[in-house]
Chains A and B, each alone.
Chain A
Amino acid sequence: MVSLMGHSYMGDTGTFAHTTTGQVKEHSFYPYTDNGGSTLGITGSDFAILAGDTRSVSGFNINTRFAPKVFKIGGDDETGEGAHILLSVVGFAADGNALKERLDAVVKMYKYQHGKRMSVRACAQRLSTILYQKRFFPYYVHAILAGLDEEGKGVLYSYDPVGSYEREQCRAAGSAASLIMPFLDNQVNFKNQYIPGSGEGHALEQKKAEPLPRETVEQIVRDAFTSAVERHIEVGDGLQMAIITERGIEEVFTPLKKD
């Protein structure tokens, strides 16, 4: 017998015949879980809103009814006081947390090294590279970044798990994204809304999308979530809304159905 390994432990008797035939064993450890939930962001002319439900699930289990998904970035201390950027993460919560903390550290170091606050635009680009650095073991999250741009207008960037990103007016992410997004298309970007009497058939004129006032946007957010709660089992318990304006960040918590 010629051993391919160049040596044999057995001797020739084969008493201790080794029976580990080349069966490939599957790794049974899966490093991700889906913690459910949904987030949503909408911008206005001088504000941006990021919102998320506060339920956290594993399978059919509710882990907790209060796990915030929207975080302040660039705050001075644990309270988040002095922050000027918002980040929402939905998907795998541990990755979301790790991502949030990395971005927060980056924004903090930026301030130390340059003596000024990091712009939302720069932060958005940096977040993209952070995500892409883990292209082959991704942060399993859908992130949305919000803040105010250089002119004081609301900005919002949305990301896929590996870092491709885009500036948008509004975006829904997470398990109920497919329920909420069409609603936003219609209510924020006025898709399929036409100016009455502007024409017949294809001649009908699309209603032009314009930045909405804050009260309207807040109501749209509430409606989006109360509706999503009805149709998605992973969404519910509480609604966290963070509104960023030139005066700072306001945070509002309201209850959602707990069923």
Chain B
Amino acid sequence: MNHLPEIWGRPRNDIYGSYNPSYLKTSGPITHTSSPTVTGTSVVAVKFNGGVAIAADKLASYGSLARFTDVKRLRVFANSSVVGFGGDVSDMQYIDRLLESIDIREHYSTHGNMLNAKNLLTYLSKVFYKRRSQFNPLWNHVLVAGFDGNGAPFLSSADLLGNTFSAPHMATGFGAHLAVPILRRLFPEERPIEDITKDNAVAALQECMKVLFYRDARSLDEYSIAVITKDGVEVKEDEKVQAQSWAFAEAIRGYGAQTA
């Protein structure tokens, strides 16, 4: 028996040759993430009268491989805000840990966690901007939903460059192309958000998740949805796209069963 623990489990040198540690790369230039690896696709969100609704599917893709099918991409913060993550999943988990430590720190204060969704977005955009400035980006595009300092519904996005935008309804990734037009048709800009009920918003998101599942090859029909109101955050993590109809696929020429 070999009594040196560091050798245990290693291929034997006399059979396989000495170990090649070159991949460990102890010298040479520092390398950073230059593309995401395991990724989540769209996040979709809408403001409604008295709150915000947000949804994201549960798929994490490794390139075109559907790698993980039970990934929760909505992160609740202080039972008053939700961060929806698109992009790299490991970076998402890193940011999740950052948020966790902030949450703990805030709870030392006499009045508990007073950071609202707007504060959270400011913080996240600073983290993203700092990392992009170091050429070491966190490869995410997030939506932050909750309330601002005046108690009004708040919805805004931050991306890997540190850019932030805000609008009554938003979507990241593929959703920016497929979901936003649906939301715009349902809730035109001239329609005030006070006219939109919670049920309207949730139904709209369900519709968006369906269309995304139909047309986004990196999506899944299982998704999480969160509704943020003054009473707190209500998250459902076992939603499934209902009433799917693939009849339209028959009409697509050049694929499937048809030959001409």
Contacts and interface: CB of A to CB of B under 8 A. Distances in A.
Q: Do chains A and B touch in the complex (CB under 8 A)?
A: yes
Interface of A: 9-11, 13, 15-16, 18, 20, 25, 27-29, 31-33, 35, 56, 58, 61, 63-67, 78, 92-94, 97-98, 137, 258
B189 interface: yes
A12 B137 CA distance: 41
A31 B161 contact: yes
B164 interface: yes
Contacts of A64: 165-167, 170
A98 B129 contact: yes
Interface string B160-186: 011111110010000011000000000
Nearest to B25: A20
B226 to A, nearest CB: 22
A78 B167 CA distance: 20
Interface stretch (B2-10, B15-23, B53-61): B15-23
A47 B131 CA distance: 40
A97 B21 CA distance: 44
A97 B125 CA distance: 10
B32 interface: yes
4 nearest A-B residue pairs (beta carbon)? A94-B162, A63-B165, A64-B165, A64-B167
A228 to B, nearest CB: 21
B34 A29 contact: yes
A16 B17 contact: yes
B163 A33 contact: yes
A130 B109 CA distance: 36
B167 A98 contact: no
A9 B22 contact: yes
A66 B18 CA distance: 62
B135 A29 contact: yes
